[in-house]
Amino acid sequence: MFARIWHSDAFWMFRRSPAAIVAALCAALILCGAIFAPWIAQSNPYDLSSFSLMDGFLPPAWEDGGSSRFWLGTDDQGRDMISSILYGARLSMLIGIVAMIIATVLGVGLGLAAGYYGGRFDAIVMRIADVQLALPAILTALLIDGIARGVLPSSMLENLRVVVLTIAIALSLWVNFARTARASVFVEKNKEYVQAAMIMGQRPFRVMMWHILPNIMGPLLVIMTVDLASAILLEATLSFLGIGLPADSPSLGTLIRIGMGFLLSGEWWILWVPTLFLVILVVSINILGDFLRDAFNPRLH
Amino acid sequence: MVYLILKRLLQSFFVMLAVAFLAFSLFRFVGDPVSQMTGVETSVEDRERLRDELGLNDPFIFQFARFTGDLVQGDFGFSYRTREPVGEMIAKRLPATLELGTFALVISLVVGIPAGIYTALRPRGFVSQSILLVTLVGVSIPTFVIGIILIFLFGVQLAWLPTFGRNGTVDLGGWSTSFLTLDGWRSLILPAMTLGVYQLTLTMRLVRAQMMEVLRSDYIRFATARGVPYRQLYFKHALANTMVPVITIIGLQFGGVVAFSIVTESVFQWPGMGLLFLESIRFVDIPVMGVYLVVIAFFFVIVNLVVDMLYVAIDPRLRVKEAA
Amino acid sequence: MLDVQDLTVKFPSRHGEFTAVQDVSLRVAPGEIHGLVGESGAGKSTIGAAVIGLLQPPGYVANGRLVLGDTDLRSLTPDAAHAIRGARISMIFQDPQTSLNPLMTIEDQLIETMQAHEDITTSAARARAIELLEEIGIRNAADRITAYPHQFSGGMRQRVVIALALCTNPELIIADEPTTALDVAVQSKVLDLIRELADNRKIAFILITHDIGVIKQITDQVTVLRGGRVMEAGPTPQVLDSPQHPYTQALLASVPRLDRKLDRFLVPSEVEEAAPPLVAGVDAEKWLLAGDTTNPVDLEVKDITVKFAGQRTSLFRRAESFTALNSVSMQVAEGTVMGLVGESGSGKSTLAKVITGLVQPSNGTMTLDGAPLPPARQRGRQDAARRTIQMIFQDPYSSLNARHRIGAVLGEPLWLYGLEDDAAKRRALCAAMLEMVGMEPDAIDKYPHQFSGGQRQRIAVARALLARPRFLICDEPTSALDVSIQAQILNLLKDLQDRFGLTMLFVSHNLAVVRQMSDRVTVLQRGEVVETSESEAFFTAPAAPYSRELLSLTPTL
């Protein structure tokens, strides 16, 4: 298995692409940081006792007045920036990854079935996709959030913020997967290996999952990567707009929104440190997505 | 061809109906319209009378039909929060958003298409690689961060341009425009750049990908083998074939422009529809939310119909019948 | 006039430099058609691309001389090379469907090409274009010239392509498989046209093809290539009638003859890619003999009609349906091979799909082994015919799932039909079956991409056999393969038929191949049966005029 991956063309291209290697390293590093935040962060931004107002507004260590305890400085509350970012990335990536997985399962499932069965089912799914396309991702997410506000009592809403946000993002991204999966199935369906399976009388579910799905994973993997980046951006944007997560459970977007308050005063790091971090994360994922797109393009070999 | 356009019209009609239904469901099922419109002191009888007047006791289909009928006639209901007619609220905000979106789209096309062509023709050059790197970062920076950076650079550090609001508008029979005064332009530049950058990167990458695909096609190889001058090869043969799919996607991108104008308007406090929508979400002002949706979907549908017609104009395969 | 000496072309890749063409020399005189023939990987297209200077990067000319008249093609600047393209050397590509710009009228494409190379007014260019189109056989050229490529049929489109290559009066035209995508009738007309142009206009042609029949029909000189090297070269009659090189001899021996039926092909030993079949795999053979495979079935289809819904073009008119098969009847007796022939669009593949249950007929009945055979929608997943009828497809590159190991591909029929429940026994049986079709049993743990086309087709045959079929449909099983590989696969199928007495439906557009395989022949034309005859009678004295025409147009050795 590993030997197969190691010798594959895609991996060979990977080893020859410094940008992809650096991006993969960055993404992996951030992912590890996010997963292990509770163990590596020196303070917990959720825990009021782990930081003190006395440490507020400390600049990064290399600036005048910086403290070596807080290498990237502290915010107005005295929270360590690194710790906040790690916890923020943890939340952002959790929401992004879960939303991406939900969108993948939903979109690929509908797209596969629509492409395989065609006809009326296909028409219905694609018309729903049309409507969804008329309402872009961020609008859908905002809308679902708005509906949740209207339907759920506010006490429950606070507890469900993360869930609502995740679902909102997932529902705004599924169309991409559905359309790609459907288009790929239309191509694969007429290939002889699928016809062979159909002639044999295999179950449609098996034909879709066991025969077609592995053959269309390439483009889907690309979209998964790109949409993970979109999901993280979307979460950050919604939180920035103040629609997403409240200030006491800061994601990267929330941190940036808080930092906006200090745009005009001297505490630049409160804004720019989380911003830079978010951009590095998303750029890394997008570079990987670009790389995968090239690697899976048979015409480029 | 006529059939094609009719078919698209029918599809558009369906999309509009579905969005109207969404808006109606919002209005009908998210919260109780009656308790939103009345205060605590309103009696049960008054509430019941209002319910009757609003037709909320009628069968569901009738309610939806009436709702849709009202929409078509331009009666958009009243805001829960300000009690103003929603139609007027939207109409007041519409020019700001449309001008912002149009200008941003123009920026993205005027810069994005040539840049896409250039990077497709010289994929290995230093300039192309730099452009590609910049656009990769461009799609990865959230719109609001771009806005913040622009504000920081041009508004705070250099202090060249205003950082918020829409100034210097001129009223042209109900349509307030920024295009007629210097102040108007000055306040438009930063938001439009913010909104345009993301679209620009998308356009550029799309044009590049399509163009590279077309350049590998058999008919380009054949034209090369016939010695057709490179300029004609690239700008006549390849570009036209590139634009066929690109036009469709640019149509779809219009949705993106509108969506991200919500963010841009929020960052720059630009008094457009997006800001209105954000406020309506924050205050659960359902009628405004619903109408905003309908208006956005309407623009989307219109733009895509225009795109379809362009498509027909470019591609003879849709226009001219095949020989027997 | 064109003088190529010691041409070597290399392609750098991750596995080191690959030499596609090595030390190839050839000369082409004006008015001469020089054929380049060889199997895939012979480097014939690469030579053409090198001459016109359009090698796909990263390929490059590593060595050799390329001289056209008194111009050294290798020393030209990129701009000068581009100026020569069209003006002095032009090219015709394989697929007329994709080689024309779909967005420009053919008038614009023709005029643009002429104006690129000479100072000519638009109206003069148009006049010459119309004249040229008339000359190469497009009637009403003055009207048709304003049409778009999609408004021409395949054969007409290839004529337009030729007109484009011709309109600048080049000295040399490189035709890369110009008729491979065309039906025999159209192919023969296009070949005649090329011969005429060479004779009348004294244009030199390099004709690249894999089809020795085409070489025989129109070339003056031929160069036989293999693995990028010249095996043999000389005047066409001499090379084909008395080949000197063993490879040429073997290649010619493996070409199916239209004029006689062979029991087995002589397979060139050096291109043999696996051990001869049926020496191994005794277990698999026993297993097949133990089942009902040796008890073949007969098939009868009666009045089968298939209509496909057309594209709707108007809101007020129903979509016009396209009749792919019109009341087709056919009987295949048990233990015999029925050859089904016809041009593209004749409905032969559709008929195969109706029998396998992929396409729903709108009318007609089918009987298998005396019992009714339900059509697609009525045929349940558990229906016995799902197993009894097996199919071997045209393209071995897509008929095996690229993501599954050979073992998983082969084991599928065994568990699906409940033929063997024990996984270890399934594996052993698959390995034995691989041996029986002439493969190494260790192939079972590999993936399809690790095999060549011929090997994959063997695997596909093994998969079909593992269902214990009683009726085998072969849909163009060799048309994607080189002739020497085709000979092996045909041998394999013949052996299997001899050994197990399978009933087979053998679908092919290639009459020579059908002659080798079938006992009876059915000819389809535009969805209707034209003729059904005993094979020998058909090939010696066809009854229908259409059959006669088909036979006379097929290039022969």
Q: Is residue C325 assigned to a domain?
A: yes
Q: Is C114 on the interface with B (CB under 8 A)?
A: no
- C91: nearest CB among B222, B232, B321: B222
Which of C120, C147, C169 is the last residue in one of the domains?
C169
For residue C226, give the 3-state DSSP assignment: strand
Regions in chain A scoring below 70 on pLDDT: 1-9, 48-58, 61, 63, 65-72, 78, 244-248, 297-301
Residues 70-129 of A with CB under 8 A from B: 127-128
**pLDDT mean over B109-126:** 90
Pairing relationship of beta strands C528-534 and C520-525 according to DSSP bridges: antiparallel
Do C293 and C385 lie in one domain? The reply is yes
**How is residue C371 written in tokens?**
């019992």
Classify each residue of C257-288 as buried b or exposed e, where b means 16 or more C-beta atoms within 10 Å of its C-beta. Answer: ebeeeeeebebbeebbbbeebbebbeebbebb
Q: Is C205 exposed, middle or buried (0-12, 13-18, 19+ CB in 10 A)?
A: buried
Average pLDDT score over chain B: 83
Chain A residues with CB-CB distance to B11 below 8 A? 127, 130
Report yes or no: C525 and C346 within 8 Å, Cβ to Cβ.
yes
Do C378 and C522 lie in one domain? The reply is yes
Q: Positive or negative CA dihedral for A290, A292, A295, A299?
A: negative
Q: Could you tell me the CA-to-CA distances from B245 to A222, A256, B203, B221, C518 in Å, in that order?
A: 20, 37, 12, 20, 48
**For position C535, what pLDDT does the model report?**
92
The model's pTM is 0.83
Report yes or no: C229 and C23 within 8 Å, Cβ to Cβ.
yes
Which of C169, C201, C221 is the last residue in one of the domains?
C169
Q: Where are the alpha helices (DSSP H) in C345-393?
A: 348-356, 385-388
CA distance B155 to B163: 5
**How is residue B234 written in tokens?**
């690239």
What is the value of ipTM here, to two decimals? Answer: 0.83
Residues 298-357 of C with CB under 8 A from A: 356-357
Q: Is A32 on the interface with B (CB under 8 A)?
A: no
Please determine, for residue B324, whether its predicted confidence score (pLDDT) is greater than 50: no
Report yes or no: B211 and B117 within 8 Å, Cβ to Cβ.
yes
Q: Is residue C163 assigned to a domain?
A: yes
**For position A91, what pLDDT does the model report?**
87
Q: Is residue C328 assigned to a domain?
A: yes
Q: Could you tell me the CA-to-CA distances from A265 to A52, C347, C435 in Å, in that order?
A: 21, 78, 79
- What are the beta bridge partners of residue C365? C302
Do C429 and C457 lie in one domain? The reply is yes
> Of the candidates A113, A154, A153, A139, which has an alpha carbon nearest to the alpha carbon of residue A238?
A139
Q: Is B299 on the interface with A (CB under 8 A)?
A: no
Which of C114, C140, C169 is the last residue in one of the domains?
C169
**How is residue A179 written in tokens?**
């359309």
**For position A56, what pLDDT does the model report?**
66
Do C158 and C205 lie in one domain? The reply is no
Count the domains in chain C.
3
Domain that holds residue C372: 282-530
Q: Is residue C178 assigned to a domain?
A: yes
Q: Is A68 exposed, middle or buried (0-12, 13-18, 19+ CB in 10 A)?
A: exposed
- B228: nearest CB among C93, C105, C113: C113
For residue C163, give the 3-state DSSP assignment: helix
Indicate yes or no: CB of B219 within 8 angstroms of CB of C98: yes
Q: Is residue C273 assigned to a domain?
A: no
Classify each residue of B80-115 as buried b or exposed e, where b means 16 or more C-beta atoms within 10 Å of its C-beta. Answer: bbeeebbbebbbbbbbbbbbbbebbbebbbebbbeb
**For position A48, what pLDDT does the model report?**
66
Sheet holding C299-308, edge to edge: C322-332, C299-308, C363-368, C371-372
**For position C72, what pLDDT does the model report?**
93
Pairing relationship of beta strands C204-209 and C172-176 according to DSSP bridges: parallel
Indicate yes or no: CB of A137 within 8 angstroms of CB of B15: no
- A199: nearest CB among C357, C395, C402: C357
- A286: nearest CB among B136, B216, B301: B136
Report yes or no: B190 and B199 within 8 Å, Cβ to Cβ.
no
CA distance A160 to A95: 13
Classify each residue of C83-116 as buried b or exposed e, where b means 16 or more C-beta atoms within 10 Å of its C-beta. Answer: bbbbbbbbbbbbbbebbbbbbbbbbbbbbbbbbb
Q: Is A290 on the interface with B (CB under 8 A)?
A: yes
**For position A55, what pLDDT does the model report?**
66
Phi, psi of C147 (to 5 degrees): -80, 160
**For position B11, what pLDDT does the model report?**
84
Residues 3-42 of C with CB under 8 A from A: 14
For residue A16, give the 3-state DSSP assignment: coil
Q: Which residue has the higher pLDDT, A56 or B99?
A: B99
> Of the candidates C322, C331, C326, C329, which has an alpha carbon nearest to the alpha carbon of residue C305?
C326
Do C409 and C381 lie in one domain? The reply is yes
Q: Which fold has domain A18-32+69-300?
A: MetI-like fold (1.10.3720)
Do C118 and C201 lie in one domain? The reply is no
Q: Is residue C270 assigned to a domain?
A: no
Do C11 and C71 lie in one domain? The reply is yes
**How is residue A271 written in tokens?**
């804004």
Percent of chain B with pLDDT over 90: 12
CA distance A269 to A70: 12
Q: Is residue C401 assigned to a domain?
A: yes
**For position C337, what pLDDT does the model report?**
94
Indicate yes or no: CB of A201 within 8 angstroms of CB of C399: no
Q: Where are the alpha helices (DSSP H) in chain B?
A: 2-29, 33-37, 44-53, 60-72, 86-121, 126-140, 143-150, 182-215, 218-225, 230-232, 239-268, 273-282, 286-314, 316-319
Indicate yes or no: CB of A146 within 8 angstroms of CB of B280: yes
Half-sphere exposure of C155 (CA within 13 A, CB side): 17
**How is residue A217 written in tokens?**
């994973």
Q: Give the tens place of pLDDT for each residue, C321-360.
A: 788 999 999 999 999 999 999 988 899 999 999 999 999 9
Chain Cα centroid distance, residue A128: 23
Chain B residues with CB-CB distance to C98 below 8 A? 217-219
Residue keyed to tokens 């720059």: B268
Regions in chain C scoring below 70 on pLDDT: 266-280, 310-319
Residue keyed to tokens 């990064």: A60
Phi, psi of C367 (to 5 degrees): -130, 135
Q: Residues near C29 by Cβ (< 8 Å), separated by ≥ 6? A: C1, C204
Residues 239-258 of B with CB under 8 A from A: 252, 255-256, 258
**How is residue B146 written in tokens?**
């771009």
Largest CA distance in chain C: 79
CATH at C344: 3.40.50.300
Indicate yes or no: CB of A200 within 8 angstroms of CB of C467: yes
Q: Is C52 on the interface with B (CB under 8 A)?
A: yes
Give the H or E element holding residue C506: strand C503-508
Q: Is C314 on the interface with B (CB under 8 A)?
A: yes
pLDDT band at B64 (very low <50, low <70, confident <90, very high): confident
**How is residue B254 written in tokens?**
């219009």
Give the H or E element holding residue A259: helix A252-260
First to last CA, chain A: 22
Out of B1-5, B106-110, C13-17, C472-476, pick the least confident: B1-5
Q: Is residue C288 assigned to a domain?
A: yes
- A193: nearest CB among C382, C386, C398: C398
The C-alpha angle A175, A178, A179, rounded to 5 degrees, equals 85
Q: Measure A265 CA to nearest chain C CA, in Å.
A: 55
Q: Measure C161 CA to nearest chain B CA, in Å.
A: 9
> Of the candidates C91, C107, C112, which has an alpha carbon nearest to the alpha carbon of residue C171?
C91
CA distance B279 to B296: 16
Q: Measure A18 CA to nearest chain C CA, in Å.
A: 17
**For position A129, what pLDDT does the model report?**
87
Q: Positive or negative CA dihedral for B290, B291, B295, B298?
A: positive
Q: Measure A251 CA to nearest chain B CA, in Å.
A: 14
- What are the beta bridge partners of residue C389? C471
Do C300 and C405 lie in one domain? The reply is yes
Do C18 and C110 lie in one domain? The reply is no
For chain C, which chains pass the contact test of at least 3 CB pairs under 8 Å? A, B
Q: Which residue of C has its CA nearest to B3?
A: C314
Please determine, for residue B238, whether its predicted confidence score (pLDDT) is greater than 80: yes
- C381: nearest CB among A191, A195, A201: A201
- What are the beta bridge partners of residue C85? C89
Indicate yes or no: CB of B144 within 8 angstroms of CB of A256: yes
Q: Measure B7 CA to nearest chain A CA, in Å.
A: 13
